Amino acid sequence: MQKFLCNSLDIIVSQALNEMKEEQGIDFKAEAVNLVELQRRTGISRAKLRKLKKNNFKVTEHGRKGYTAQKTILSGYTDELDYLLRQGIKNSSICLQRLHDSGYSGGLTTLKNYISQHKSLLPAKRQQIMPQGNRGRRFVTKPGEAYQMDWGFTNVTTNYGQTLRAACFAMICHHCGQRYIEFFPNAKQENLFIGMIHAFRYMGVPAYILTDNMKSVVTKRDWSGQPIWQKDYEAFMKTIGFQTKLCKPRHPFTKGKVERLIRFVKDNFLIGRIFWNVTDLNRAALDWCNEQNTMYHPAVDGMPEQIHDRLCSKLASVLPDEQDVQCYLCPERRITFDGFVNYENRRFGIPFSYTGKTARIKREDDVLYIYSSDLQHLLTTHHVTWSKRDRFCADQYVTAQQPEEFPTAPIQSHIGMLSEPVSSLSFDKFNFDKEDTEDE
């Protein structure tokens, strides 16, 4: 007996029709099939079965197949999404966050479908060389015992088309993965000290720091291989109360967490980022750190912030609030002959009444504070506008008083002054003094 087969409505309808045909035998007719019984066997609605019955139980394609709507929920955002794809951003979560900031109200699945259909916009992957084998086990420490720190760099394009370089200071707890990042105009030693103090305030002071052979940390090694610390960094370690361990060059297993953090910052936080100034960038960086620290991380099986508060922070010491620490937050600058100090490639004025040769500078958000060299007096403040023009203060220069003569004898003469006489109307148009006064 030839079995009844439909083309694709799935095996459920085909099996039900074949069973009914075997039960009814030669009396079975497809055009006279009982839809109630077929519905009971398949679970498909009678409206759908009635439509299939008209086509002799053959599934036909929808008449609108292949057509797409002219306007979808993604309309108006495809240009921005294409720009992200051309920049190499294929993470749908990052794209969703960027589009939400622009007003997109759709979901994640729509973006995933669009990204999978437009993979041609992504830049070509570079070819990898032969992978290296495993060289050993990763370095493991106890809670609050060690942090890792490093510098990362990125190029910044200004609205005038200039390309600048910004430095990203990164520090991460080796045990729980608690992270902190901050951006500076350069990677000088004074900015390293400021970034470390801010990170210690955020996470506490560990027993020692893991870092590579920075010029601002170590100068060279002695005959036995022991590091010879840079003198300012050695004084900084004694002031804060921690030790430093140097990592082996080209060996990422020791401080791979902070190196991976730098790459994650470049691939997640920085990519497609637009900001006004360094202050705005650091505010966004701190919000990003707080968000990442409160997310679940499979590597530590929990949230880094909770693990750090529960374990690491109890063993890490508190940063001392002493004047020596404040000196590192306020770098010293020499005062020029015209009463300016240079900070972050900008010049700021100092009052004429201050007679010292140097001053200390500290920037908090958009306000620049200028202190005396001993940090006892606040000289002046400036609002940082990030303009290259010199910023003057109110009492920066003293205006020389010109000599003036006064009467030596009593004044006996008197004169009077009247108001301006009113001229006739016919000659008003010739009163040029009045016209000049009105124009003013």
**317-352 residue pLDDT tens:** 888 888 889 999 999 999 999 899 999 888 999 999
| Distance (Å, whole) CA 74 – CA 393 | 52
Q: Is the pLDDT of residue 5 over 50?
A: no
Residue 400: pLDDT above 80?
no
Domain range annotation of the chain:
10-54, 78-121, 146-315, 330-383
Q: Please state, rounded to an integer, the average pLDDT across all residues of the chain.
A: 85
Residue in the block written with tokens 């003057």 = 392
Percentage of the chain with pLDDT > 90? Answer: 38
Residue 154 half-sphere exposure toward CB, CA atoms < 13 A:
22
pTM equals 0.65
Cα separation, 271 vs 87, in Å, equals: 8
At residue 154, the pLDDT reads 92
What is the pLDDT at residue 430? 58
Q: Which band of pLDDT confidence, cut at 50, 70 and 90, is reported for residue 195?
A: very high
CATH architecture of 146-315: 2-Layer Sandwich (3.30)
Q: Which residue has the higher pLDDT, 386 or 211?
A: 211
Question: 440: which residues sit within 8 A by CB, 6+ positions away?
Answer: none
Indicate the residue type of 142.
Answer: K
Q: Can you give the pLDDT at residue 205? A: 94
Task: Tell me how far apart the alpha carbons of residues 55 and 206 are, in angstroms, rounded to a whole number.
Answer: 76
Mean pLDDT of 410-437: 66
Nearest by Cα to 13 from 61, 37, 63: 37
User: For residues 32 and 63, what is the distance between their CA atoms, to the nearest angstrom?
Assistant: 27
Percent of the chain with pLDDT over 70: 90
Q: How far is CA 43 from CA 10, 36, 54, 73, in A?
A: 13, 10, 19, 34
Nearest to 242 by CA among 290, 193, 289: 193
Q: For residue 247, give every residue at least 6 positions away whose Cβ sits within 8 Å of its Cβ, in sequence order, or none.
A: 210, 211, 212, 254, 255
List, in sequence order, every residue forming a beta bridge with 357; answer none if it has no partner. Answer: none
Residues 9-14: what's their mean pLDDT? 74
Per-residue pLDDT at 137: 67
* Spatial separation of the C-alpha atoms in residues 193 and 349, rounded to whole Å: 25
pLDDT, average across residues 381-396: 84
Which parts of 68-189 are beta strand (E)? 146-157, 163-173, 179-184
